[in-house]
Amino acid sequence: MLKAQVLCSCSVASLVFLLTCVGSANAQYPYGGPRFYGCIAFEHADFGGAQLPVQANSSIGFLPGFWNDRISSLTCAPGCEITTFEHANFRGRRQTWGGSVPFVGREWNDRISSIVVQCGR
């Protein structure tokens, strides 16, 4: 009952924000729910756009066509981290990320060409 009263008294903007947050949280595990173990790269900031799931303890030396230089946000399952590289075959600048990253920042936005996902270290 209390939950219903809170929802009824909130503004439309608050409700839209709440639904957006719930959608973002669900986007973290789109392939089989929370059982997905690895990291997911997103085309846009705030976990928007196309999704590229990368299984635990795997790597991609050159992101396939669409994905090269298109990643803007990342999320990893607990115990996982993703290392991104500026160039193909794990060359150039590198950055390791864990948890949820709603925006990789200006220095990395649309500049990632290869990735390594490690879990359970």
CA distance linking residue 76 with residue 81, whole number of Å? 6
Q: Residue 18: which pLDDT band, with cuts at 50, 70 and 90? A: very low
> Across all residues in the chain, what is the average pLDDT?
79
> Would the pLDDT of 114 be above 80?
yes
Distances (CA, A) of 70 to 21, 22, 86, 102, 119: 23, 24, 12, 14, 23
Where do the domains of the chain lie, and which CATH numbers do they carry? Answer: 2-119 (2.60.20.10)
> Would the pLDDT of 110 be above 80?
yes
Tokens 């089989």 — which residue?
32
Reported pTM: 0.72
pLDDT at 34: 54
